[in-house]
């Protein structure tokens, strides 16, 4: 108002103000440090203390890592070579890498099979994780479990085919009856698949494994980080759909279904995973017919899946509850039926809200797969605690082995967490 | 005006029949002995004080709420607990909500094509053409690829109307479509609704926009405490209300 008359309230600008450069601002590393590290005396003290801590940690670990030995054949030899100097004995990793990754019983000449399964896993997971990829790739994703099964376990080719056939039969029945009632289609499909598997299982000849193209590897020979990955991937990918089904079931208007889901979720959440694993290793055998000999791997998968599905169900229930009622009403008023409304409107939004929670459960579950070492399965931790540390050569190499295990798990979990952040950004359409 | 009047003709064909319909929420009697017949092409405005059951009434017509007694017949289909009938009625009856209820994870175009593709099994391309046609009609074709969160309230409500129209409904229900909007956006939504009325759409509209009622409605219904207290042609309704409750209500809303 400087150019208007002092007592006047009315004001009309006659010429527009020209654009000017911002006032000179200091920039560069010195300014950055002054702003971020030494802004106040207290800040400066904190900065110095932190620097000192970083220095302590680095001086303690760096020589140990840099001096590390990679080519000795036992801990004793390491000690001899180091001769009192600080240094890690990484030779255990170069010497026993195959046991750490594949377990100590998986045949060496067959390592290519699980490795190929891992590579194919990335191909199969890609269209699910990155939905900009062509949808046709999902066909491979659907076939992947059967391919991976055949690669890892080998044996009779009929097994994965029967498994696939059961899934197709279930899907077919679901398609037939879902129009009438969602529950009918769903349970009809499950029953059809179970019947198909049972009958198919009886038809596979006893000695099929002997004549197989790919050497059969029994489940007890699986081990190492491969076992953790297999359990993690299988259980996460099974527990998400199961968790969704439980969360929807908990909201169901049919009291029986609602009750079953509530009891299941509350029961499983109230029991420690380790208990469930012991049940899997010892007791679950009682529930199956004695001659069926359900595989220990399968029993563990069932238990971990149920465990994490209960948690995922609760996370998704939170997401469902966060959706405004209007979304359900809009879907209803457009004439969408229940499965359509869920699949197209409700779940995409509820799952989006639930991503951080689901990822949290998934990361936790992946790390919890190491618990199988207590029921004498030789996963990565089981291998370290058992065969490797117990061997005369490597008895006492704790830091290197456990550090390696931590690194492997960290890489996978960090990857999952980065992916979920990318996904959240990618799905952010609400522009609130 | 004369031309409009001829277009806004009411046929003898019956669109909705509600007969002695009652509804309770628990022990609370929300709707009491509702009798209402709506002919094809009628434009009915429902008004009344808050909590009088207006929303509940029109939500019963497309079975978003269940009624406990009496009957509702929409386009010759009797609403019962049979899911087939409910889905049939819902795909014939469009509904617009106070808070738009667009699907925030889908673009405007996807919002409009979703139900035709999945419920009517229209091919995607055809559904998109229809959607663009109606988006043009509500005057926002250029927003088709945006997400609802990027639109103003008035635009969102017009998208919601277009989304309903894409199902080619024979009846449209509106539940206070303008009451969540700023004044300057109310006009654009009302214009869309007026246009719809001129094309002969059967409309039931809960609203407090009395200007709209005078201009478009052929009947105004006043509800209080779950009952239809008075209904009349708009001129007579506003100029010569009969019931004391109607008079009180009109004096309250017209005073401001
Ligand atoms: N789900 C419900 N459970 C119990 N009572 C309800 C429920 N929905 C509405 N009511 C009650 O029923 C009555 C009628 O509600 P309704 O929403 O139809 O009123 P309305 O006329 O639309 O009011 P408004 O103008 O405020 O929208 C109100 O007293 C309300 O409290
Ligand atoms: Mg209302």
Summarised one tens digit per residue, pLDDT across range B190-246 is 999 999 999 889 999 999 888 999 989 999 999 999 999 999 999 999 999 999 999
Spell out the long-range contacts of A390-396 with Cβ–Cβ below 8 A and sequence spacing 24 or more.
A392/A74, A393/A73, A393/A74, A393/A75, A393/A76, A393/A95, A394/A74, A394/A75, A394/A92, A394/A95, A394/A96, A395/A75, A396/A75
Which residue among A60, A82, A105 closes a domain? A60
> Mutate which of B82, B95, B101 to disrupt the A interface (most A C-beta within 10 Å)?
B101
- Say if A282 falls within a structural domain: yes
Summarised one tens digit per residue, pLDDT across range A315-344 is 999 999 999 999 999 999 999 988 899 999
Which residue among A35, A60, A85 closes a domain? A60
Find the B199 Cα to ligand 1 centroid distance in Å: 32
Q: What is the pLDDT along chain A (432 residues), one digit of tens a residue?
A: 455 555 667 888 888 888 887 776 667 778 888 888 888 889 899 999 999 999 999 998 898 888 888 888 888 888 888 888 888 888 888 888 988 999 888 888 889 999 999 999 999 999 988 888 888 889 999 999 999 999 998 888 888 888 899 999 999 999 888 877 777 888 899 999 999 988 888 887 766 666 667 888 888 888 999 999 999 999 999 999 999 999 999 998 889 999 999 999 999 999 999 999 988 887 766 666 655 566 888 889 999 999 999 999 999 999 999 999 999 999 999 999 888 999 999 999 999 999 999 999 999 999 999 999 988 888 999 999 888 888 888 888 888 899 999 999 999 999 999 999 999 888 887 655
Contacts with A, B 61-100, CB within 8 Å: 62, 64, 83, 87, 90-91, 93-95, 97, 99
Q: Which atom of ligand 1 is nearest to the CA of B98?
A: 27
pLDDT in the model for residue B175? 94
Which of the ligands is closest to the CA of residue B24?
1
Q: How far is B84 from chain A (nearest CA, A)?
A: 9
Mean pLDDT of B29-34: 93
Nearest residue CA, atom 5 of ligand 1? B25
- Please name the residues in contact with A152: beta carbons below 8 A apart, sequence gap of 6 or more: A113, A114, A117, A217, A222, A230
- Say if A207 falls within a structural domain: no
This prediction has a pTM of 0.85
- Say if A321 falls within a structural domain: yes
- State how far the Cα of B79 lies from the Cα of B89, in Å rounded to an integer: 8
Find the B23 Cα to ligand 1 centroid distance in Å: 11
Q: What is the sign of the dihedral through the CA atoms of A174, A177, A183 and A187?
A: negative
**B93-96 and B171-175: which strand pairing?**
parallel
- Say if A117 falls within a structural domain: no
- As beta bridge partners, residue B78 has B73
Q: How far is A253 from chain B (nearest CA, A)?
A: 14
Phi-psi region of B53 (alpha: psi -120 to 50; beta: other; left: phi over 0): left
Q: Is A346 on the interface with B (CB under 8 A)?
A: no
Nearest to A429 among B93, B115, B147 (CB): B147
- State how far the Cα of A55 lies from the Cα of A62, in Å rounded to an integer: 10
- Say if A86 falls within a structural domain: no
CB of B51 closer than 6 A to ligand 1? Answer: yes
SS3 A289: coil
Q: How far is A349 from chain B (nearest CA, A)?
A: 7
- Say if A56 falls within a structural domain: yes
Domain total in chain A? 2
Summarised one tens digit per residue, pLDDT across range A140-170 is 999 999 999 999 988 888 888 888 999 999 9
- In this structure, which residues have their CB less than 5 angstroms from ion ligand 2? B 55
How is residue B37 written in tokens? 């017949």
Containing structural domain, residue A31: 24-60
CATH number at residue A232: 1.10.3720.10
- Say if A174 falls within a structural domain: no
**What length does chain A have?**
432
- Say if A280 falls within a structural domain: yes
Strand B69-74: give its sheet, edge to edge. B28-39, B14-25, B69-74, B77-78
């Amino acid at each position: 108002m400087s150019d208007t008359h002092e007592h006047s309230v009315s004001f009309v600008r006659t010429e527009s103000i020209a654009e000017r450069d911002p006032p000179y601002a200091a920039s560069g590393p010195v300014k950055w440090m002054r702003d971020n590290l030494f802004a106040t005396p207290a800040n400066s003290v904190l900065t110095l203390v932190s620097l000192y801590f970083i220095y302590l940690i680095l001086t303690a670990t760096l020589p140990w890592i840099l001096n590390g030995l990679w080519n000795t054949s036992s801990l004793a030899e390491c000690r001899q070579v180091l001769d009192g100097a600080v240094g890690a004995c990484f030779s255990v990793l170069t010497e026993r890498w195959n046991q750490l990754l594949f377990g100590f019983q998986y045949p060496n000449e067959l390592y290519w099979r699980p490795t190929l399964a891992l590579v194919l896993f990335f191909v199969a997971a890609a269209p699910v994780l990155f939905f900009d990829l062509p949808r046709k790739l999902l066909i491979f994703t659907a076939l992947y479990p059967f391919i991976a099964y055949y690669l890892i376990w080998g044996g009779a080719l009929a097994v994965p085919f029967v498994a696939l056939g059961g899934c197709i039969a279930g899907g077919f029945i679901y398609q037939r009856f879902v129009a009438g009632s969602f529950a009918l289609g769903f349970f009809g499909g499950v029953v059809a698949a179970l019947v198909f598997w049972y009958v198919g299982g009886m038809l596979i000849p006893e000695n099929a494994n002997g004549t197989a193209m790919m050497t059969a590897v029994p489940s007890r020979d699986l081990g190492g980080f491969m076992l953790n990955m297999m359990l993690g991937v299988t259980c996460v990918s099974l527990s998400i759909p199961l968790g969704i089904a439980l969360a929807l079931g908990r909201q169901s208007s049919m009291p029986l279904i609602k009750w079953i889901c509530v009891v299941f979720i509350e029961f499983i959440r109230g029991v420690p995973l380790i208990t469930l694993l012991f049940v899997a290793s010892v007791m679950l055998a009682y529930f199956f017919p004695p001659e069926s000999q359900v595989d220990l791997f399968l029993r563990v998968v069932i238990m971990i899946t149920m465990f994490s599905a209960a948690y995922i169900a609760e996370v998704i229930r939170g997401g469902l509850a966060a959706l405004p009622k209007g979304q359900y009403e809009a879907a209803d008023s457009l004439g969408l039926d229940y499965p359509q409304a869920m699949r197209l409107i409700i779940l995409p939004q509820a799952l989006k809200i639930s991503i951080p929670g689901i990822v949290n459960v998934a990361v936790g579950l992946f790390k919890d797969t190491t618990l199988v070492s207590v029921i004498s399965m030789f996963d990565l931790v089981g291998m370290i605690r058992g065969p490797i540390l117990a061997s005369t050569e490597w008895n006492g190499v704790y830091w290197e082995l456990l550090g390696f295990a931590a690194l492997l798990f960290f890489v996978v979990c960090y990857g999952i967490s980065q992916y979920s952040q990318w996904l959240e950004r990618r799905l952010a359409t609400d522009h609130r | 005006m004369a031309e409009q009047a001829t277009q806004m003709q009411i046929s003898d064909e019956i669109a909705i029949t509600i007969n002695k319909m009652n509804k309770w929420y628990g022990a609370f009697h929300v709707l009491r002995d509702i009798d209402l017949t709506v002919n094809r092409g009628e434009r009915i405005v429902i008004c009344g004080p808050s909590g009088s059951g207006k929303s509940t009434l029109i939500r019963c017509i497309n079975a978003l709420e269940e009624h406990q007694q009496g009957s509702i017949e929409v386009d010759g289909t009797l609403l019962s607990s049979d899911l087939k009938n409910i889905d049939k009625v819902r795909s014939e009856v469009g509904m617009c909500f106070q808070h738009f209820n667009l699907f925030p994870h889908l673009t405007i175009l996807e919002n409009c094509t979703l139900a035709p593709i999945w419920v009517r099994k229209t091919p995607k391309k055809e559904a998109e053409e229809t959607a663009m046609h109606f988006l043009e009609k509500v005057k926002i074709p250029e927003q088709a690829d945006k997400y609802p969160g990027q639109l103003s309230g008035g635009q969102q409500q017009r998208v919601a109307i277009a989304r309903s129209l894409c199902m080619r409904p024979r009846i449209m229900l509106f539940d206070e479509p303008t009451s969540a909007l700023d004044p300057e956006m109310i006009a654009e939504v009302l214009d869309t609704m007026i246009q719809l009325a001129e094309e002969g759409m059967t409309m039931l509209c809960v609203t407090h926009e009395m200007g709209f009622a005078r201009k478009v409605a052929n009947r105004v219904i006043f509800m209080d405490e779950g009952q239809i207290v008075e209904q009349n042609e708009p001129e007579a309704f506003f100029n010569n209300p009969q019931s004391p409750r109607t008079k009180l209500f009109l004096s309250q809303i017209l005073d401001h």
